[in-house]
Structure 1
Amino acid sequence: MAVKLACLECGQGNRVPDEKLGAGPKCGTCGAALMPSKPVEITFDILEMARRLDEVPLVVDFWAGWCGPCRMMAPEFAKAAGKMAGKARFAKLDTEAFPQSGSKFGIRGIPLLIRFKDGREVSRQAGAMPADGILQWMSKDK
């Protein structure tokens, strides 16, 4: 069976066979990695496309450059992304560059992680966390 994924670079929808998710699938339009092992900076429009289309978990870190805890958590978020390669996608959205994200997702504080799957929010976690904490949070409420 194939799963649907939006490219985190160009937004194009792709279908990837389940067994190929861990084998480095690439976007049929732009060639970007569809299941990258590190977080990808995305735009608000790409997030909207991916959260509606993706059939694998999409974990988004809502952050801002002026936020000290956000900067502290960035390497931990990247470690968690590496450990979940082929199983989930990790993305970062700069709330300062895309202020509409605050009202759209009810963001009251950053850093904020939101996990999306099959077009809906599955869970959220505010505050900086170590990589193991992020992985533990992801394992809840599957």
Structure 2
Amino acid sequence: MNDSLHISCPACLATNRIPQARLEHSPQCGRCKAPLFSAQPFEADAESFDRILANTDIPVLVDFWAEWCGPCKMMAPIFTQAAAALEPECRLVKVNTEQAQSIAERYQIRSIPTLMLLHQGQEIARQAGAMDLSSLQRWVRQYL
């Protein structure tokens, strides 16, 4: 049985094959040597978002937000804290809906902030509105 996972590097977007048992051991990118998990959400544009989704075997938690959105600003530090708590179980990605309108349209984002959990390109769950850290972790872990 193959116990390796493909993980896209947040620094250079290279695809890395990592044994599942090594995920907890601070793996580094084979190309650029950056940490594959840094306890920080990845800020994605349209191109990098598609590459992360296509080349990452773990679930991807996406925060759809905009600069002008008050609840989004309130949610930002909570999402960063969630990255520290949820990696390497899932990859956390932020998508600015003003800068990546094509992604927001593709996923029919109607309100922000919207959190979406995707696995292998398929939507698993969606939640609109800001959450506190414990609620966010509980919501995500029920799907992991």
| TM-score, normalized by the shorter chain, greater than 0.5 | yes
What is the TM-score normalised by the length of structure 2?
0.90
Q: Which amino acid aligns with 2:90?
A: A
Cα RMSD (Å): 1.4
What is the TM-score normalised by the length of structure 1?
0.92
Q: Which amino acid aligns with 1:27?
A: C
Q: What are the Cα deviations for residues 49-76 of structure 1, in whole angstroms up to 9, with x where unaligned? A: 1212211111111111111000000111
Listed as ranges, the gaps of 5+ residues in structure 2 are none
Residue 96 of structure 2 is aligned to residue 94 of structure 1: yes
Q: Which amino acid aligns with 1:95?
A: T
Listed as ranges, the gaps of 5+ residues in structure 1 are none
Q: What are the Cα deviations for residues 5-34 of structure 1, in whole angstroms up to 9, with x where unaligned? A: 122232221111111111111222223321
Asked if the contact 1:9–1:32 (Cα under 8 Å) also holds between the matched residues in 2, the reply is yes
User: Which residue in 1 is equivalent to 2:67?
Assistant: 65
Given candidates 110, 126, 129, the residue that maps to 1:127 is: 129
- How do 1:1-142 and structure 2 match up within 5 A? 1-142=3-144
Asked if the contact 1:36–1:89 (Cα under 8 Å) also holds between the matched residues in 2, the reply is no
List structure 1 segments (4+ residues) > 6 angstroms apart after TM superposition: none
Asked if the contact 2:64–2:104 (Cα under 8 Å) also holds between the matched residues in 1, the reply is no
How high is the sequence identity, in percent, across the aligned residues? 35
